[in-house]
C-alpha cells in the first residue's frame, strides 16, 4: 500500500520517519550518556565523601575512640535534612573486618562480623580482602543500593579498617528523571520545528516530479500543441528526465504539425486536381459559347434588346473565363531572373494603400544581384502576401517585410499586427474561395500556395493575437 502512495505523501512521510527515528536515537544516546555521567558523578562524590570521613576517623581508630568515631560518621546524616548527602548507612570495620561502629547498630552490632549479619552485606568481607587498598563501588550486591568501600590506612599504609557507605539507587533515578525531562522537552521542540520544515522541504523536492507526472498525464487526453507544462529543469536526475520529456513533447508537436501540413497538402492537391479538371471541362463549352457570341456580333442583325442581352451574356461568360483562368495556375518558368528591382516594384505597388491607412512599413531587402528564380511568379507571391497584409492591418498599424537570401534559399517574411487568424480558419486558409468577401473571391492565397508548390518551396503561417506572419522559402538552384 505504501508503494502505491504518491510521492507528494511518500517523501514527507519518509522524511518525517527519519526525523523521528533520528531524534529518538539521539535522545536515547543522550539519556544513556546522562545516566553514565550521573552514575559516575554520584560514585565520585560518594568516594570523595568516604575519603574525607576516612581521613577524619583515622586518628580515632588509632586511639580506639569508639564514641568519637560514631559521632563523626553520624555528622553527614544529621545534616541530611538539608540535603547535603544522600547516603543512608555508614559502617566502619576494624582491621579484622569486624563491625567497629555503624549508623544502624540494631542491624550491624559492634564487634559483629558482616558474614554473621542477615543481610546482603555478608559477602563484602571477601571483596574487601581481595581489593586491598583502593576504594571501590559495589552495585550488584543490593539491587536497590550502591555501596562505597573506602579503606582506612595509617600514614605508613597500614590497614586500620574500612568505611562502607550505602547510597540508594533512587538518587540516580531522580537525577535521570530531571535530565530525561529536559531531553524530551528539547527533542519535542526540535521535532516541532523539523517536521513542518521537512514537509515543506519534501514539497519543494517533489514539486518538479509531480508537475512532470501531471504533464505526462495530459498526453493522450490533449493535443501535444495544447500541452503547456511550464517545467523548470535543474541539473539533477529529475531535470534530466524533464528535459527528455520536453524533447519528446516537442517531437510530438512537430509530428502533429507535420501531419497537419501533409493533410493540408494532400487536401489542397486534391482540390487543385479537382478544380483543374472542372476548369478544363468548363473551358471547352465556354470557348464555344464565346465563339458563337462573337460570330453573332459580326454576322447577325440583332435588335436593340437582343444586342443588350447578348452583351450581358458575353460579359458574364468573360467573367466565368477569368475565374476559371485564376483556378488554373501554371508556373511558366521563364529565363528572366529575379532582380532587386522586381522586389522594389512590389513595394511601389502597395505604397498607395500603405499611405492611405498610415501604416508603418519596415522594409528590408537583402537582394543585391539577380537570382535564378522566375521573377513573375515571385513578384506575384510577394504582391499577394503584401496586399493581404495591408488589408488585414488596421490604420496606424505596423507591417514588416523581410527579403533575405541564404546560399541555397530565398526567403520572404511578411508580418503584420492585424487581425488574428483563428485555428479553424487556418486549416482552410489556402483553399479557393475560403477567404472570399466583398473585396475579392479569395483566390490570392490559393494562387500563392500553388505557385510556391510548383517551385518546390514551402509556405508557413503563424498567427497570434498581436502578430500574423507568412513565410515563404524557395530553393535556389545552384548554377
CA gap 166, 145 in Å, rounded: 6
Residue 102 pLDDT greater than 70, yes or no: yes
CA gap 209, 390 in Å, rounded: 48
Q: Which CATH architecture has domain 2-177?
A: 2-Layer Sandwich (3.30)
* pLDDT class of 103 with cuts at 50, 70, 90: confident
> pLDDT, tens digit, for every residue of 387-422?
989 998 989 999 999 999 988 899 999 999 988 888
Q: What is the pLDDT of residue 7?
A: 63
The mean pLDDT of 25-38, rounded to a whole number, is 85
What pTM does this model have? 0.43
Secondary structure (DSSP) of 93-126 = EETTSBEEEES-TTTS-TT-BGGGSSSGGGGHHH
Q: What is the pLDDT of residue 3?
A: 63
> pLDDT, tens digit, for every residue of 288-302?
787 878 887 777 777
- The domains of the chain are located at 2-177, 237-327, 337-475
CATH class of 337-475: alpha beta
Choice among 49-53, 115-119, 312-316 with the minimum mean pLDDT: 115-119
Q: What is the pLDDT of residue 365?
A: 92
> pLDDT, tens digit, for every residue of 307-329?
777 777 877 777 677 666 666 65
The mean pLDDT of 210-233, rounded to a whole number, is 72
Task: For residue 406, give every residue at least 6 positions away whose Cβ sits within 8 Å of its Cβ, in sequence order, or none.
Answer: none
Q: What is the pLDDT of residue 313?
A: 81
- If you ran DSSP here, which 8-state letter would residue 216 be given? H
CATH code, residues 237-327: 1.10.287
Per DSSP bridges, beta strands 398-406 and 360-365 are parallel
Geometric angle at alpha carbon 411, from 410 and 415, rounded to 5°: 165
Q: What is the pLDDT of residue 192?
A: 85
Which of 78-82, 224-228, 369-373, 426-430 tops mean pLDDT? 369-373
| Residue with the larger pLDDT of the pair 461 and 141 | 461
* pLDDT class of 80 with cuts at 50, 70, 90: very low
Cα atoms in the Cβ-side hemisphere of radius 13 Å centred on 88: 10
CA distances from 242 to 88, 211, 214, 433 (A): 73, 10, 12, 45
CA gap 454, 377 in Å, rounded: 10
Amino acid at each position: 500500500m505504501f508503494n502505491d502512495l504518491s510521492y507528494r505523501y511518500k517523501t514527507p512521510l519518509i522524511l518525517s520517519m527519519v526525523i523521528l527515528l533520528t531524534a529518538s536515537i539521539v535522545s536515547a544516546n543522550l539519556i544513556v550518556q546522562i545516566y553514565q555521567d550521573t552514575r559516575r558523578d554520584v560514585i565520585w562524590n560518594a568516594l570523595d565523601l568516604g575519603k574525607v570521613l576516612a581521613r577524619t576517623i583515622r586518628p580515632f581508630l588509632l586511639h580506639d575512640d569508639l564514641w568519637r568515631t560514631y559521632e563523626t560518621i553520624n555528622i553527614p546524616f544529621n545534616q541530611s535534612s538539608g540535603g547535603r548527602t544522600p547516603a543512608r548507612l555508614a559502617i566502619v570495620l576494624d582491621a579484622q573486618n569486624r563491625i567497629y561502629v555503624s549508623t544502624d547498630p540494631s542491624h550491624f552490632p559492634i564487634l559483629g562480623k558482616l558474614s554473621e549479619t542477615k543481610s546482603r552485606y555478608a559477602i563484602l568481607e571477601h571483596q574487601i580482602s581481595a581489593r586491598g587498598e583502593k576504594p571501590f563501588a559495589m552495585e550488584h550486591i543490593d539491587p536497590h543500593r550502591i555501596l562505597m568501600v573506602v579503606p582506612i590506612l595509617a600514614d605508613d599504609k597500614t590497614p586500620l579498617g574500612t568505611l562502607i557507605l550505602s547510597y540508594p539507587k533512587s538518587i540516580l533515578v531522580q537525577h535521570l528523571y530531571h535530565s530525561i525531562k529536559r531531553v524530551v522537552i528539547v527533542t519535542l521542540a526540535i521535532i516541532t520545528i523539523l517536521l513542518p520544515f521537512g514537509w515543506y522541504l519534501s514539497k519543494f523536492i517533489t514539486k518538479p516530479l509531480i508537475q512532470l507526472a501531471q504533464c505526462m498525464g495530459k498526453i493522450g487526453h490533449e493535443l501535444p500543441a495544447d500541452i503547456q507544462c511550464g517545467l523548470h529543469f535543474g541539473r539533477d536526475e529529475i531535470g534530466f528526465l524533464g528535459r527528455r520529456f520536453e524533447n519528446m513533447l516537442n517531437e510530438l508537436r512537430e509530428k502533429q504539425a507535420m501531419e497537419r501540413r501533409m493533410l493540408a497538402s494532400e487536401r489542397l492537391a486534391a482540390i487543385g486536381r479537382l478544380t483543374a479538371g472542372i476548369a478544363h471541362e468548363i473551358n471547352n463549352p465556354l470557348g464555344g459559347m464565346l465563339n458563337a457570341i462573337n460570330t453573332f456580333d459580326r454576322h447577325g442583325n440583332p435588335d436593340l434588346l437582343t444586342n443588350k442581352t447578348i452583351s450581358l451574356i458575353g460579359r458574364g461568360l468573360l467573367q466565368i473565363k477569368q475565374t476559371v483562368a485564376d483556378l488554373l495556375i501554371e508556373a511558366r518558368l521563364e529565363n528572366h531572373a529575379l532582380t532587386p528591382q522586381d522586389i522594389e516594384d512590389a513595394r511601389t505597388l502597395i505604397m498607395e494603400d500603405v499611405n492611405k491607412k498610415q501604416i508603418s512599413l519596415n522594409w528590408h531587402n537583402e537582394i543585391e544581384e539577380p537570382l535564378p528564380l522566375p521573377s513573375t511568379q515571385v513578384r506575384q507571391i510577394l504582391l499577394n502576401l503584401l496586399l493581404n497584409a495591408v488589408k488585414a492591418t488596421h490604420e496606424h498599424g505596423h507591417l514588416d517585410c523581410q527579403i533575405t537570401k541564404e546560399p541555397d534559399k530565398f526567403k520572404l517574411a511578411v508580418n503584420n499586427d492585424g487581425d488574428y487568424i483563428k485555428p479553424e480558419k487556418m486549416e482552410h486558409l489556402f483553399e479557393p474561395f475560403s477567404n472570399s468577401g466583398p473585396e475579392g473571391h479569395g483566390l490570392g492565397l490559393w494562387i500563392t500556395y500553388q505557385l510556391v508548390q510548383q517551385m518546390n518551396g514551402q509556405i508557413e503561417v503563424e498567427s497570434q493575437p498581436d502578430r500574423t506572419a507568412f513565410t515563404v522559402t524557395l530553393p535556389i538552384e545552384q548554377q
